[in-house]
Structure 1
Amino acid sequence: MRIGLGGRPARWLHHRALPAGLTFTLLVTVTACRPQLPPPGAPTSWPATSARHWQWQWQVAGVLDPDVEADVFVLDPVDTTAAETAQLRSRSRRLVCQVHIGSVHPADPDASRYPAQVRGATVARTGRIWLDVRRWDALRPVLADRFRLCRGKGFGAVVFADADGYDKHSGFALEFDHQLQFNRRVAALARSLDLSPGLLGDLPQVAALAPDFDFAVNEECVRLRQCEKLLPFADAGKPVFHVEYTGATTDFCVTSIGYGFASIRKHRTLDAWRLPCPSP
């Protein structure tokens, strides 16, 4: 079994309800404002006029729920089938595949393709192994095939997980600039394969990397008081998909919507359950 972000398992990767009339109004408004989805084979577009209005879902555990009222789905590209992505695209959902670019888990289908010399320290909590991002020659072919898997299943965007090994005990003497160059190279690789690149985490490098990426995914910036670090994306009209795992939506939504983020509350396991913040 693979272990995902926050220690949750993943393969390869009491609240008050809104009144029925208000819920219907919100759904109609969101649907009416939803921009046209690019055809298969084209990277996902993110119109700046919609940046503050996306509703999103992040699910990498459990049986996929295609009926969630969300415009954007972040999913595992191995566990998600082509039939499921086709169903979601038929409903004009934007699909983002989550790919670990800076680490590998022994249970990953392509784990054997990473040579021993690029494998570093193992994260005890997750079992994932950090990779030497300075070895572009060894990592590029594997990442390219991971991105082709995403593209072949109908995803139009990819979000990079574990893009911050320089800031962890990776087992390598990685520096800020090593990671910066690697992340930019991977973003360019994704674009060459018709995928829109997104950045998960790596907040210390956001100011430098925001021009190279189309969107960001963030965990718990309200709780950690780090949301201002994501402003280079929001100020550029690029969506920030934000999740909190604790606290009431009535508390953190005020902050995250103020920053212009699309926010939800999730279980740390990232199953189908979610509580969204209302669109501004």
Structure 2
Amino acid sequence: MGRPLLLVALLLLVAACTTSGPDGKPAGTTPPATGTPPVGRWQPRPGTPWQWQLSGRLDTSVDVPVYDIDGFDHSAATVAALHRQGRKVICYLSTGAWEDWRPDAAKFPRSLLGKGNGWEGERWLDIRRTDVLAPLIAARLDLCRAKGFDAVEPDNMDGYRNTTGFPLTAGDQLRYNRLVARLAHERGLAVGLKNDLDQIPDLVGDFDFAVNEQCAQYGECEELTPFVRAGKAVFHVEYELPTERFCAASRTLRLSSMLKKYDLGAWRRPC
């Protein structure tokens, strides 16, 4: 009789340890702290200096810890060289708009292409079609990972606030942006929320940093404070305001700010 009773006791103990809690996870499991990335994923902190260059010959001499460069245009060797200099490297991709010059442009069905977004050769995507877009975006993120990038900057993430040719809603945008973030995280990449200020309260927990253009010009920089409060960097540029018009406020808000030209070449004037 001793052995069966002991076996029953052991089985009851195992069941108690593996009972699911209300969130579907084993009881007693402690969830990771909010805003803490999994081990191995980079987390840039507020105020981190950066360089953003998407055109021209890459200037690797800028003394900053973060470079944001085009994911298609640069090789794994370039990323590795920046790593040897102690830099983290962000992979720029467009995930909300189609670009006619990209090597995978023909893989996007014509039915997904909407109106132009104001840049030559670019058209908004129908982000509601996640069944078609998910594998296409995943392949682009695989490219970033294969080249050794630390993070991704997905661009055109606020189509619902623009004239895209599709009846996109805020809910459509939230679902799509979270999909992009999840796909990046599954590949060990940090991911930034590009613009999309209105949805920051809903998305700050899904993204590791923010990238913003012209929040000072339009009086919107304080809307980015949820990222800073969460210990996450806000990489910010202005194009038209002189640095004396925004740098003091940027330092107060702990933004990583600089003045750039619209072509996003090597030239920069940091705060």
Q: TM tier, shorter chain?
A: 0.7 to 0.9
Does the aligned pair in 1 maintain the 2:127–2:173 contact within 8 Å? Answer: yes
Give, in whole Å, the separation in 2 of the partners of 1:247 and 1:146: 34
Q: What SS class does the counterpart of residue 60 from structure 2 fall into?
A: coil
Residue by residue over 1:72-94, the C-alpha shift from the partner in whole angstroms, topping out at 9 and shown as x without a partner, is: 11100111122211110001101
Partner of 2:20: none
Name the residue aligned to 1:43: 41
Aligned twin of 2:207: 213
Quick check: 1:247 aligned with 2:233? no
Which protein, 1 or 2, shows the higher relative CO under an 8 Å CA cutoff with sep ≥ 6?
A: 1
* Offset at residue 250 of structure 1 (A): 2.9
Residue 222 of structure 1 aligns to a residue whose secondary structure is coil
Cα distance in structure 2, aligned partners of 1:259 and 1:237: 12
C-alpha deviation, 1:126, in angstroms: 2.7
1:85 and 2:84 correspond: no
Higher Cα Rg, which structure: 2
Q: Which amino acid aligns with 2:46?
A: A
Mark the runs of 5 or more structure 1 residues left unpaired by the alignment.
1-40
Give yes or no for the alignment of 1:117 onto 2:115: no
Give the Cα separation in 2 of the matches to 1:123 and 1:55.
Answer: 29
**What pairs up with 1:92-131 in 2 under 5 angstroms?**
92-131=86-125
Q: Following TM superposition, by how much is the alpha carbon of 1:145 offset from its aligned partner in structure 2, in angstroms?
A: 0.9
The offset of 1:218, in angstroms, is 0.6
Return the alpha-carbon distance in structure 2 between the equivalents of residues 145 and 125 of structure 1. 24
Name the structure 2 match of 1:191.
185
Query: Are 2:138 and 1:140 aligned?
Result: no
* Residue 124 of structure 1: how far off its partner (Å): 4.9
User: What does residue 19 of structure 2 align with?
Assistant: none
Cα distance in structure 2, aligned partners of 1:124 and 1:160: 17
Secondary structure of 1:241's aligned partner:
strand
**Cα offset for 1:42?**
4.4
- For residues 225-269 of structure 1, give each alpha carbon's deviation from its aligned partner in whole angstroms, at most 9, with x where no partner exists: 000111111111110011111233233110111111011111111
CA contact (8 A) 2:68 2:90 kept: yes
Residue 69 (structure 1) shift: 0.8
2:255 is the alignment partner of 1:261: yes
Letter in structure 2 aligned against 1:223: Q
Q: Percent identity?
A: 42
Provide TM-score, normalisation by structure 1: 0.80
Structure 2 unaligned residues grouped into runs of 5+: 1-38
Equivalent position of 1:231 in the other structure: 225
Give the alignment's TM-score, normalised by structure 2.
0.83
Match of 2:4 in 1: none
Letter of the 1:141 partner, please give it: P
Q: Distance in 2 between matches of 1:256 and 1:160?
A: 23
Q: SS of 1:166's equivalent?
A: helix
Cross-structure match for 2:31 = none
